[in-house]
A and B are shown apart, each in its own frame.
Chain A
Amino acid sequence: MKINFLELTLRPIHEQFDISAVLAYLKAMPYCSKDSVSEYSDDLLQTFMICGTQITLEYCKKERKENPDNFPLVCSVVLVYPTDNKIGIGFYGDAEDPCYIDAAKFVLHILGQYKCNISDEFGHDWTEQVEKKGAESLFE
């Protein structure tokens, strides 16, 4: 896998995200945990840590408890916005880390379900590329 961005935002083009299905998918992902110290209420935002391994999951939970002002920069983070109809994904591990690979799988799952506008933290729009070359091209 190749790192082309650190953060992605997905916005469905034709419909609303089925938030309950997205949350169910995240909750079922291995070594993924809902963040317990997110500063926003569930109505506005739900935050998940995709950790890739049990050791990373335990580490991140402990870090969040001990340093709630910072996110450990060793996992991927997913923000689900129930009312804003968007999902943000932060890839903070190395491209070979299980947390990166699992976050990429999550993105591919969402893009397999919904046609989305896709943008990164530099303002680049990846929508056209994904339409032409497929969602996998985000990570090539």
Chain B
Amino acid sequence: MPLKYIVKDEFGKSYHLVLSRETQTDESLEPMSFSNSSNAIRFVKSLKVDENSWLNILRKIGSTSVKRDQDAITIAIADLIQRGAITVYTIAPTTDQKHMASSSRNKTSNPDSDDSPPVESMPGNKPAGLGPPVDDNAGYQPGAADIKQQADADIESGAAHDFSQDEDGKMKQVYNDFQADPPKTGATAQTLGPKLSTMKEKEFTEFMDAEAAAGKCTSKVEIVDSFAPGKEKQNMMKYEYPDGTMVRYKPDGDLIRKGKPTYSIEIKKDASLADRGGTEAIHDVAFKVDEKGRLVPKWPHTMNDPYAPGSTLSKNYTNAMMATGHKILPK
């Protein structure tokens, strides 16, 4: 017997959420489909369901790893809807009216009884536990383009970041300072992101050298490994702005982009400190910045992955997210 709930959107329209792949036999109910993750997210956001009720639904499905965060919950529910783990049915007016009356006490209620208990106190409501990655058994698989779109939306909303994985408690403050109007840190990065993303290598190096010559930033050469066959070392350029923005440029690229010039824009945790290099280099950076001038996770550890660990969706999401902060410069 599938678990069913009635929920309402902001306009009072009601829907059935069915937590299984079994189909409804009631012909007055029509299954809804969503062409992309943005539409599904928009739909979930429109529903008048509280956080606890969503978390309860997620637990029933086995998604126990979703954090108590409205954005993360919305994305997780939208994803489950898209993959068919939750089926949404629109309710025809007559049925709708009947259930609206029975569910008026709770934002989310069990439609199988006119005196519906809240979701939290339903009998047999045992957490299902985290099963195998849910997407590997799902009928619907969002493609890489959908995931890329979701990663972009998460960067925009800030849901891309897992602040609980912060190494030293500075990430959240840097994030807030960057988002402030005007920004308290990394303002240069917000303009450099879009500007540098359109440049070829020669234009990039000329631009960055001109920035240093004009005194807007400092420039420093560091000798690092080259991974191009036959080459031992390369000169990495490091440009540091006083507002915490840092640009790294490697003419020979990195280990997986051998021979291709690469750059990254980073936001330091402490704008007043010059990059210390050495063993501290990787820890002194709070975020990377994408081509739209937005903060993106510097590594998977601080990324808020909405998908089951180890699943294909998680890999697509990680792949899409990590690519946003590591850029290749066309020659």
Contact = CB atoms under 8 A, between A and B. Distances in A.
B90 interface: no
B13 interface: no
Given A45-B229, A79-B227, A123-B224, A90 B323 contact: no
B222 interface: yes
Nearest to B305: A94
A55 B299 contact: no
A108 B311 CA distance: 28
Contacts of B310: 53, 55-56
Contacts of B319: 63, 72-74
A71 B300 contact: no
B277 A88 contact: no
B318 interface: yes
B315 A74 contact: yes
Contacts of B182: none
B1 interface: no
B282 interface: yes
A5 interface: yes
Nearest to B236: A123
A59 B316 CA distance: 9
A23 B255 CA distance: 18
Candidate in A44, A73, A81 with the most chain B CB atoms within 10 angstroms: A73
For chain A, the bracket of interface size reads 35 or more
Contact of A44 (B136, B230, B232, B282): B230
Contacts of A95: 301
A124 B230 contact: no
B278 interface: yes
Interface in B196-253: 222-225, 227, 229-230, 232, 236
A15 to B, nearest CB: 18
B282 A84 contact: no
Contacts of A122: 222, 224, 277-278, 281-282
B195 to A, nearest CB: 23
Interface in A23-74: 39-40, 44-45, 53, 55-56, 59, 63, 70-74
A56 B315 contact: yes
Nearest to B224: A123
A39 B256 CA distance: 11
B279 A4 contact: yes
A12 to B, nearest CB: 14
A84 B256 contact: no
Contact of A123 (B222, B227, B301): B222
Interface in A82-136: 83-84, 86, 88-90, 92-95, 97, 119, 121-124
Contacts of A93: 300
Contact of B299 (A3, A7, A72): A3
A5 B223 CA distance: 16
Contact of A7 (B255, B279, B300, B312): B255
B152 interface: no
Contacts of A13: none
B277 A4 contact: no
Contacts of A81: 229
B254 interface: yes
Given A4-B279, A124-B277, A9 B225 contact: yes
Contacts of A86: 232
B223 A123 contact: yes
Interface in B306-331: 310-312, 315, 318-319, 322-323, 326
B301 A94 contact: yes
A58 to B, nearest CB: 9
A84 B299 contact: no
Given A84-B232, A97-B300, A121-B254, 8 more contacts: A4-B282, A5-B282, A73-B322, A74-B315, A86-B232, A93-B300, A121-B255, A123-B236
Interface of B: 133, 136, 222-225, 227, 229-230, 232, 236, 254-258, 277-279, 281-282, 299-301, 310-312, 315, 318-319, 322-323, 326
